[in-house]
Homo-oligomer: A and B are copies of this chain.
Amino acid sequence: MRKTPPDQPPLLDQIDRRILAELQEDGRMTNVELARRVGISAPPCLRRVRRLEEAGVIRGYHADTDPALLGWQVMFFAIVGLESQKQSVLDAFEQMVGAWPEVRECHMIRGGGDFILKLVARDTAHENELTRRLTGAASVARVTTLQTIRTAKDAAGVPIPPE
């Protein structure tokens, strides 16, 4: 089957893409420097950045901090299976782990009733305690943890395609 829709006027042109790539790399770059790098002057560059922010393409800017230097020596993933796929159970689980500061990410997995979580812990004892809290939580059927011992890659953002 052929592709259905003809391409609309590209919402993002080449300059927008370069802006996004630059700001994903250094989100605190000044607008003047950004404009210089993408080859336009500062005012239209700022207009483009604002437009990208308002369109939701840029959702925000965040400092990237070193977990170990802040006392989070352990990072681990947890794959959590629930006993039910009822919406109310899923929602309750998301709400619970959403309130735990150690849970940094929570994604529902295709297939039903499973989640993958990314967590930080101060040390192994803390990790064990968090795992026990997960295992013992309401509606949790099984928990598998994967402790990371080395991060070979941790890239910001997503690839910006050349198009």
Residues of A participating in the B interface, judged by any CB pair closer than 8 Å: 12, 20, 23-28, 55-67, 69-72, 75, 77, 79, 94, 97-98, 101-110, 114-116, 120, 146-161
Closest approach, in angstroms, between the C-beta of A140 and any C-beta of chain B?
15
Pick from B70, B110, B156: contact of A149, CB below 8 A: B110
Query: Knowing A106-B152, A109-B149, A157-B64 touch, does A57 contact B28 (C-beta < 8 A)?
Result: no
24 residue pairs bridging A and B, Cβ less than 8 Å apart: A20-B63, A24-B63, A25-B62, A27-B62, A28-B28, A57-B65, A58-B66, A61-B63, A63-B157, A65-B158, A70-B161, A77-B77, A77-B116, A102-B159, A104-B153, A104-B154, A104-B158, A106-B151, A106-B152, A107-B151, A109-B149, A110-B148, A110-B149, A120-B159
**Is the pair B153, A94 in contact by a Cβ cutoff of 8 Å?**
yes
Closest approach, in angstroms, between the C-beta of A155 and any C-beta of chain B?
5
User: CA separation between A11 and B14, bound complex, in Å?
Assistant: 44
List the B residue with the shortest CB-CB distance to A161.
B71
Closest approach, in angstroms, between the C-beta of A52 and any C-beta of chain B?
8
**Is the pair B64, A97 in contact by a Cβ cutoff of 8 Å?**
no
Query: Knowing A107-B75, A158-B104 touch, does A61 contact B61 (C-beta < 8 A)?
Result: yes
User: CA separation between A63 and B50, bound complex, in Å?
Assistant: 13
